[in-house]
Structure 1
Amino acid sequence: MHAFAALLDRLIYTRSRNAKLKLIADYLIATPDPDRGWAMAALTGDLDLPAVKPAIIRAMVDARVDPVLFRMSRDYVGDSAETVSLIWPDPPVPPASEVDLSLSGIVDRLSTLSRSDAPAVLADLLDRLSPEERFALLKMATGALRIGVSARLAKTALAQAFGLDVDAVEEVWHGIRPPYAPLFDWAEGRGDQPTAADLPVFRPFMLAHPLDDAVVSLDDYAAEWKWDGIRVQIVRVAGQTRLYSRAGDDITHSFPEVAADFDADGVLDGELLVKGDAQGGEAASFNALQQRLGRKQVSARMLADYPAFVRLYDILIDGGEDVRALAWHERRARLEVFVKRLAPDRFDLSRVIDAASFDALAEIRSGARDASIEGVMLKRRDSAYIAGRRVGLWYKWKRDPLTADCVMMYAQRGSGKRSSFYSDYTFGCWTDAGELLPVGKAYFGFTDEELKWLDRFVRQHTVNRFGPVREVEKTLVLEVAFDSIHASKRHKSGVAMRFPRIARIRTDKPAEEADRIGTLMALIT
């Protein structure tokens, strides 16, 4: 455990991507199996220890430490795992029995626990570990590393460590369970390269770069709508169907009707959406799709009220033939044939936008305020389907955001490097009766200098405290940008913003001139 804890500690304080790659690669080369496999599972989010939950950890700490002291410390530090690791008291009598404190030993012990046994075992481990090791254990056990390492970066480090192709690693990753013994056997020449021929595994998505201010020719690029759902990959092979999110998570259980209706062998790329009405209308807003996300069991009522479908973008494998090396226009022709074999009420094609020129496309895009449209995708007609982001192949051209002038109401400390700043802001708009109601919360969009200014404002204008939350004088107007807005029964204001961020600090505008909720309601599409 000591080596893994040291790795996490160094990764947290390392900003350079190349330096992080080297740290992980050196660890993987020096660390034996199965410890390095479990480390990779933790870094990529594939480690599941269901008996260890944040509530258990909080209860353990409350039993050992004054609860008020812990909450004050947590508010100051900004990270629960770090707070627990530092505040956890040494036992009055050192544990007598020997326990395997290697990474694999700890994972083996925690993975077989019942929830009733978890507190005692976890407390015993914390008693035996150093503060750095406690931090690593808690981060690993709760699946919340947040150390600036993505799953892709960890896999890239593995590939670089052993001279492998990262796309080949990605290709078989989801078909191999932690601690990935076949993968390391292949990496070190003890075994053959694993294949995914008969497994419904995830393949890495092809991603797009922001278009920014570039102009492209529609002779070279095809334009499609960028739909506001979640990107999914549908895989069927050997009689098995799986539905994967962009992160490679298996979400089949949340959308069983989609998997059941996909009965043709292949791998397709598309956008998961919910229909606007039960009679098979167009796509509803992302707010409707959210009612289905993350559910382990889906009721018949949920299936009826929020019917899911997939708008197809691309084809990776046609039957048993890998077509990713073909040009986009050839894959598109294949996809148009493939979709005819699927249930039309569950799968349709994302249409190509007919525009005579880039300027004409810009005009079409500017007029698109459909609730389910995020913008436009531009795909080079001769591009192969290549994992990751490759410059010049695919671009995303998001529609211009909506904006509203809102009043800051509450502020909360951030996490990690922002734990010393009040950086999470709840803001509201006025009702016709003059009441200020919360309409959203944002924690990005501002510069470091603006963050310091906002933090000072919060500290100097606090009127009340609720644990880590401060209520402030209702005098500061924030211009808030957001992608769309939807009706919401869960919020007192009746609205919910999609991707809100702080666009500007409006010190020039009196709070009473901020927008009204009725103005936001008028923006709902």
Structure 2
Amino acid sequence: MRRFSDLIDRLVYTRSRNAKVKLIADYLRATPDPDRGWALASLTGQLDLAAVKPALVKALIEERVDPELFRMSRNYVGDLAETCSLLWPEPPGRPTPVVVPPLGEVVETLKALPRGQGAATMTTLMDRLDVPGRYALIKLATGALRIGISARLAKTAFAQAFDVDVEEVEEIWHGLVPPYLPLFQWGEGHIERPRYDDIPVFRPFMLAHPLEDGAVDLTDYAAEWKWDGIRVQIARAGGETRLFSRTGDDITNSFPEVAEAMPIDAVLDGELLVRGTAQGNSAASFNALQQRLGRKAVSGAMLRDFPAFVRLYDVLYDGAQDLRGQPWTERRERLEAMMARLPGERFDLSGLIVAGDFAQLAALREGARDASIEGLMLKRRDSLYSAGRKVGLWYKWKRDPLVVDCVMMYAQRGSGKRSSFYSDYTFGCWSEDGTLLPVGKAYSGFTDAELKMLDGFVRNNTVAKFGPVREVTKSLVLEVAFDSVHRSKRHKSGVAMRFPRISRIRTDKPAEEADTLETLAKLITDPV
């Protein structure tokens, strides 16, 4: 446990991606089984210890320190684990040196506990650990690391540690279970790479580079719309179907109707969308899809009101045949032929765009403000399906963002390295009666220097406090860029932005000259 807590402590204070990868790789090489496997499970979000939730940790610390002191400290620090690890009182008469159990023993102990029965065990462990150890324990137990480590980065570190291809790691990942003993045996060369042919496993996506400048020759590239949903992979094998997000997360339970409708063994690449209300193959806005995202269980009403389907782009496997080594034109023909075997209610084909030349294609892109279109995709006709971004093969040509001027209303501290800064901003537009109503929230788009300026503004202009939220004077105008705006019954303003980010701080503009809800409403492309 001490080695794991040292790793977490060092990762928290390391900003460089390459340095983080090296830290994890060194740890995985030097740490024995099963500790390193449990650490990898924690770093990739695959460790679920049902007995310990944040509410339990909060109850434990409030038994030992003044709850008001905890609340104020938590509000200032911005992180539950850091606050509790610092405030936890040292037990009287604790022996020196402290004997710290190994990580594997801690995990197995917590895994064996019934749900909600972790208080006594957590108390014992917290008493035995120092501040870094308590911090690592809480992060581990609650599954809320938030230390700037993605699952992909952790897998990349494993690949670097054992000199294997990270894409090979991805291809077997969903057939593995913690603490990943076969994975480490393969990495160390003791066994061949595990195979999971009878399990629907994730295959890394082929991704696109942004088309920054210049044109492409349409004799070499095919064009299709870039639909505004979420990229998914549908994999069926061994009588089971799974849906994976672009990052390899299993989202099958959120969209059971799509998984149940998959009738053939294959691996397909497409865009997950919600069916629109208009006739034909229309797709609703991303706002409709958002009602379904992140739900572990989906109600009958959700299935009825927001029916999901997949607009297919590509085919990676047809049965057991791997098609990724074939050019795009051949895979496209295979996919078109496959459509007759797929139910039209849940699957349709992303059509190709016919344009005489690049100038005509650019005009089509410029005129596309459909609620479910994000831009264009340009795919080289002879491109193989290669994992990751390969230069010159696929391009994404997104619509230019929309921009409005809003007024900052509220701010909240960020997490991780931003936990000391007010970096999450809620902003609004003016209604007809002169009321400022929230229209969005953003925490990106600004530089480090601008973050310090915004943080200083919040601290110097706070007029009310609501727990961790600060209300500020309605005096700072933010130019907000966003991809689209949609009607929303959940927001008092009646609108919701898609991908808002701060594009400029308008210190030159009076707040009363910021945009109105009427201006924003004119940008809505949702079908009535």
| TM, length-normalised to structure 1 | 0.95
Cα distance in 1 for partners of 2:280, 2:65 equals 56
Q: Distance in 2 between matches of 1:16 and 1:472?
A: 34
Partner of 1:137: 137
Q: How far apart, in 2, do the equivalents of 1:247 and 1:125 lie? A: 34
Q: How does 1:112-123 map to 2 (within 5 A)?
A: 112-123=112-123
Offset of residue 473 of structure 1: 1.3
Cα distance between partner residues in 2 of 1:17 and 1:296: 31
**Counterpart for residue 480 of structure 2:** 480
Structure 2 Cα separation of the partners of residues 354 and 466 of structure 1: 54
2:340 equivalent to 1:340:
yes
Partner of 1:220: 220
Deviations 1:183-211 (A, max 9, x none): 11222233232012111111111122222
| Match of residue 495 from structure 2 | 495
Assess if the C-alpha contact under 8 Å between 1:463 and 1:470 holds in 2.
Answer: yes
Aligned residues: 524
Alignment of 1:10-49 (within 5 A): 10-49=10-49
Cα 1:299–1:99 shift into 2, 3 Å? farther
Give the stretch that moved more between structures: 383-392 or 323-332: 383-392
Q: Where does residue 264 of structure 1 map in the other structure?
A: 264
Q: Identify the range of structure 1 (83-92 vs 412-421) with the bigger mean alpha-carbon deviation.
A: 412-421
- What is the CA–CA distance in structure 1 between the aligned matches of 2:53 and 2:237, rounded to whole Å? 35
1:314-361 CA deviation, whole Å, 9 max, x = no partner?
111011100111111111111111122100121011111212222222
Partner in structure 2 of residue 282 of structure 1: 282
Aligned equivalent of 1:434: 434
Q: Secondary structure at the match of 2:83?
A: helix
What secondary structure does 1:121 align onto?
A: helix
Distance 1:21 1:413, change over 3 A: closer
Which ranges in structure 2 are unaligned for 5 or more consecutive residues? none
Distance in 2, Cα, partners of 1:372 & 1:87: 49
Q: Is the 8 A contact 1:100 1:106 kept in 2?
A: no
Relative to the length of structure 2, the TM-score reads 0.95
Does the 8 Å CA contact 1:278/1:305 hold for their aligned counterparts?
no
AA partner of residue 427 (structure 1): F
Q: Is 1:249 equivalent to 2:249 in the alignment?
A: yes
Q: Which residue of 2 aligns with 1:449?
A: 449
Distance, in Å, in 2 between the alignment partners of 1:464 and 1:296 is: 36
| SS at 2:502 equivalent | strand
What secondary structure sits across from 1:423 in the alignment?
A: strand
Matched with 2:349 is 349
Q: Could you list the per-position Cα deviations for residues 24-58 of structure 1 after superposition, in whole angstroms to 9, with x for gaps in the alignment?
A: 22211111111111111111111111222222222
Could you say which residue in structure 2 is the equivalent of 1:65? 65
Contact residue 278 and residue 304 of structure 1 kept, 8 A: no
Distance in structure 2 (CA, Å) of the matches to 1:370 and 1:123: 55
Contact 2:255/2:308 (8 A) holds in 1: yes
Residues 217-266 of structure 1 show CA distances to partners (whole Å, capped at 9, x for unaligned) of 22222222111111111111121111111222222222111111111111
Aligned counterparts of 1:421 and 1:315: Cα–Cα separation in 2: 45
CA offset at residue 413 of structure 1? 2.1
Match of 2:182 in 1: 182
Q: Is the 1:95–1:127 contact (alpha carbons within 8 Å) kept by the matching residues of 2?
A: no
DSSP 3-state at the match of 1:139: helix
The SS at the match of 1:204 is coil
Paired with 1:509 and 1:28, the residues of 2 have a C-alpha distance of 53
Kindly tell me: are residues 462 and 300 of structure 1, through their superposed partners in 2, closer, same or farther at Cα, counting changes over 3 Å? closer
Query: CA separation in 1, counterparts of 2:149 and 2:294?
Result: 23
> Deviation above 6 Å: which 4+ runs of structure 1?
none
Match of 2:362 in 1: 362
- Tell me: CA distance 1:444–1:179, structure 2 relative to 1, closer, same or farther (3 Å): same
> Distance in 2 between the 1:421 and 1:91 partners?
33
Distance in 2 separating the partners of 1:62 and 1:213: 57
Secondary structure in 2 matching 1:497: strand
**Deviation, structure 1 residue 99:** 8.5
CA shift for structure 1 position 117: 0.8
Q: Report the identity percentage.
A: 70
User: In 1, distance between residues paired with 2:90 and 2:332?
Assistant: 63
User: Judging changes above 3 Å, is the alpha-carbon distance between structure 1 residues 446 and 189 closer, same or farther for their aligned structure 2 residues?
Assistant: closer
> CA contact under 8 A between 1:484 and 1:498: conserved in structure 2?
yes
2:379 aligned residue? 379
| Contact 2:407 2:476 survives alignment (8 Å) | yes
Change (3 A) 1:159 1:420: closer
Report deviation, 1:214. 4.4
CA–CA distance in structure 2, aligned partners of residues 344 and 469 of structure 1: 47
Counterpart CA distance in 2 for 1:220 and 1:185 is: 44
1:173 maps to what in 2?
A: 173
Shift of 1:108: 0.8
Q: Shift of residue 93 of structure 1?
A: 4.7
CA separation in 1, counterparts of 2:80 and 2:20?
24
User: Residue 84 of structure 1 aligns to which amino acid in structure 2?
Assistant: C
Q: Distance in 1 between matches of 2:278 and 2:374?
A: 23
Of 311-320 and 137-146, more deviation after overlay is shown by: 137-146
Give the distance between the partners of 2:62 and 2:415, measured in 1 at CA. 21
Flag the 1:273–1:99 CA change in 2: closer, same or farther, 3 A. Answer: farther
The Cα shift of 1:83 comes to 1.5
